[in-house]
Amino acid sequence: MNPELFLMIPGPTPVPQAVLSALALPPIGHRSTDFKATLKKVYPALKKIFGAENSEVLLYTASGTAAMEAALANTLNPEEEILVLSCGVFSHRWADIANTLGIKVHLWQVDAGLGHTPEALAEKLAAYTPGQLKAVCLIHNETSTGVMNPIEALAKVVRAQQPETLIMVDTVTGLGAAEFEFDAWDIDLAVSGSQKGFMLPPGLAFLAVSARAMTRHHQVCRPGFYFQFAKQLKSQHEFSTPYTPAVSLIRGLEVALAMLLEEGLPNTFKRHQRHQKMVRAAATALGLKLLVEEDSFASASVTSVLPPEGVSVDAIRAGLREQFNIVIANGQKELLGKIFRIGHLGAIFPRDVLMTLSALEVVLHQAGYKQTPLGTAVKAAQQVYLETHDYE
């Protein structure tokens, strides 16, 4: 017999029982009064999570990638120029989508495990004339490496040097894990998805849109149909949706948002930060190398670790899966087989991190890695737990 599958990956993340119960309710009509009541709670709550109470947050039945495309397609015309800051698979996706849409991409890529600093960005932007870049596309948390970028500082640099440019942020795996202030940081478009910090199954995408982005939207020639901002916004202002939405997921979202707001976002962030420190301390205690060496770039959502010499990522993942039914992630693309990624995003708690690290030690031991005594990783994580008193 096996325990339930436990997802220690950066999405999909575990879904709390209360949310599962809401998902299991029979569907109601999407034009019903009951569903309108749900949307009346969901729309304002989404704004709170994004820190976008003076802006709009659009809710799409789609994946996060669709919302990235919607952000680009609704605000840019073909041939316009953008700068994409890439530090991995997901930040590079801004460029992939933009290329498909005929937008002219300037790509600035850094090595895996690194993020972007405001200093380097300021230098980079100096090469462009004011107004040349219609958008700068960033990523908050790069899921493929576990890098978290300093969005507030980066946005400030962009705004100073390209005042009219649209700042687009993929915060699919950042939102709900670390501070993100859409209005206060003067962001124009920000994307997230339900299966991450929102503690839901996949199927919903969220897109925060500033007044500046809405103005641009009215100037583009082909904003598309299903994702068109104006239509979507008109419906949302009536506490409705333009087309049939994923009703059950949105009822689950109502519960999940209430849980997040009850915990209080500062507490949610501290919880994620604590897990990150526990995992990093454990990996270091085990003598393993972290892909993201600099603490300042360390993700609150996912931690990438290099396996010890002679032990394959496949063996580690298979051991955890087969013996403990715990799932961790492999690396992606060039990092496949080079790192394993432990997700600590969403409804994850210290006991889950301790459990995963205990099991990881067993699996490493079985695979022949015995350089540190059993209990070493757990001890390091326990110590971090005991020292992080500030979490309520």
Q: Which residues would be at the binding site for its own copies (CB under 8 A)?
A: 1-4, 6, 16-17, 24, 259-260, 262-263, 267-268, 271, 323-326, 347, 349-352, 354-355, 358-359, 361-362, 365-366, 373-376, 378-379, 381-383, 385-386
> Helix or strand or coil: residue 77?
coil
**Shortest Å, Cβ 7 to its own copies:** 13
**Shortest Å, Cβ 179 to its own copies:** 17
**Shortest Å, Cβ 24 to its own copies:** 7
Tell me the C-alpha distance between 70 and 127, whole Å.
28
Conformation bin of residue 82: beta by default, left when phi > 0, alpha when psi is -120 to 50: beta
**Shortest Å, Cβ 376 to its own copies:** 6
- What lies within 8 Å, CB to CB, of 84 at 6+ separation is 91, 92, 94, 95, 98, 105, 106, 107, 108, 136, 137
- Burial string for 347-377 (b: 16+ CB within 10 Å, else e) reads bbebebbbbbbbbbbebbeebebeebeeebb
Q: Which is nearer to its own copies, 267 or 330 (CB)?
A: 267
**Shortest Å, Cβ 391 to its own copies:** 10
Tally of CB atoms within 10 A around 13: 27
Q: Which is nearer to its own copies, 107 or 355 (CB)?
A: 355
Q: Which is nearer to its own copies, 24 or 336 (CB)?
A: 24
Burial (CB < 10 A; 0-12, 13-18, 19+), residue 288, is buried
What type of residue sits at position 85? L
Q: Which is nearer to its own copies, 184 or 374 (CB)?
A: 374
Q: Which is nearer to its own copies, 93 or 251 (CB)?
A: 251
For the chain, list the strands marked E by DSSP.
6-7, 56-61, 81-86, 104-109, 133-139, 141-142, 147-148, 166-170, 189-193, 204-209, 302-305, 326-327, 329-330, 340-343
**Shortest Å, Cβ 375 to its own copies:** 3
| Exposure on the CB side of residue 202, measured as CA atoms within 13 A | 10
Q: Which is nearer to its own copies, 88 or 346 (CB)?
A: 346
**Shortest Å, Cβ 259 to its own copies:** 6
Q: Taking each helix axis from N to C terminus, what angle separates 33-50 and 247-263, rounded to the nearest 10 degrees? A: 40
**Shortest Å, Cβ 249 to its own copies:** 19
Q: Taking each helix axis from N to C terminus, what angle separates 350-366 and 313-324, rounded to the nearest 10 degrees? A: 120
Supply 360's token pair.
């990881």
Q: What is the DSSP letter of 356?
A: H
**Shortest Å, Cβ 359 to its own copies:** 5
Q: Which is nearer to its own copies, 33 or 351 (CB)?
A: 351
Tally of CB atoms within 10 A around 332: 17
Cβ atoms of 85 and 64 within 8 Å: the answer is no
Q: Which is nearer to its own copies, 32 or 325 (CB)?
A: 325
Q: Which is nearer to its own copies, 185 or 340 (CB)?
A: 340
